[in-house]
Amino acid sequence: MEHFVEIKPGRKLLKRIFLSINLWFVGKAIQAAAKVDDEVKQEFDALPDGFTFSLGAFPNGPYMVVGKNEKGVVKYMGSKIDTVRLDMKMSLKSIECLFLLFTFQESTPVANSMDRLYVDGDIPHACSIVRIMDIVQVYLLPKFIAKLAIKRYPKWSLKRHTWNRLMVNLRAIAGF
């Protein structure tokens, strides 16, 4: 029929690559922070053993998967959600919404208030993960950027700001 066209919308390859790298690094940093930072440790201790969660964009990712094994060790488990049993799935409604979040145009609370984030799982667990992510973002980002990404920049001790930050970044890069 005239005036009709069928379109298969394409992909956003550059954004996908950017977000995949970011998610990979944040996943590794969560793993590192769980070993270095007491507050992150406490948050993970409150989660059940074997708890696994993902964060990503609906419907086709990219994702990051982080889990805590039976011994309580937190590990970044890659970017595939099909191969693991997830206890909680946190998704942004589109790759564009995830991009807004990871380019700090919107903080996590703002994204949530704008109805961009949804959770398949327990809300208390999601709140724990958001608190962990906030701490990790403070570790990874300079203050002026971190202020955009979280609700309130925390007042930390000098050791936490310097030594812990160095350790989290080194461990995230080294992957242990």
Contact residues for another protein, defined by CB under 8 A: 1-12, 16, 57-60, 93-97, 100, 114-116, 118
75 beta partners:
67
- How long a stretch of residues is the chain? 176
Q: Report, in Å, the least distance between residue 16 CB and another protein.
A: 7
Q: Report, in Å, the least distance between residue 92 CB and another protein.
A: 9
Cα 146 to Cα 104: distance, rounded to the nearest angstrom: 8
**Nearest to another protein of 60, 69 (CB atom):** 60
Residues 138/167, Cβ–Cβ less than 8 Å: no
**Nearest to another protein of 5, 158 (CB atom):** 5
**Nearest to another protein of 86, 95 (CB atom):** 95
Q: Report, in Å, the least distance between residue 17 CB and another protein.
A: 12
Q: Which residues contact 14 (CB under 8 A, 6 or more apart)?
A: none
Element (H or E) spanning 88, and its range? Answer: strand 88-92
Q: Report, in Å, the least distance between residue 30 CB and another protein.
A: 24
Q: Report, in Å, the least distance between residue 67 CB and another protein.
A: 25
**Nearest to another protein of 4, 144 (CB atom):** 4
Angle made by CA atoms 28, 32, 34, in degrees to the nearest 5: 120
| Phi, psi (rounded to 5 degrees) for 152 | -140, 130
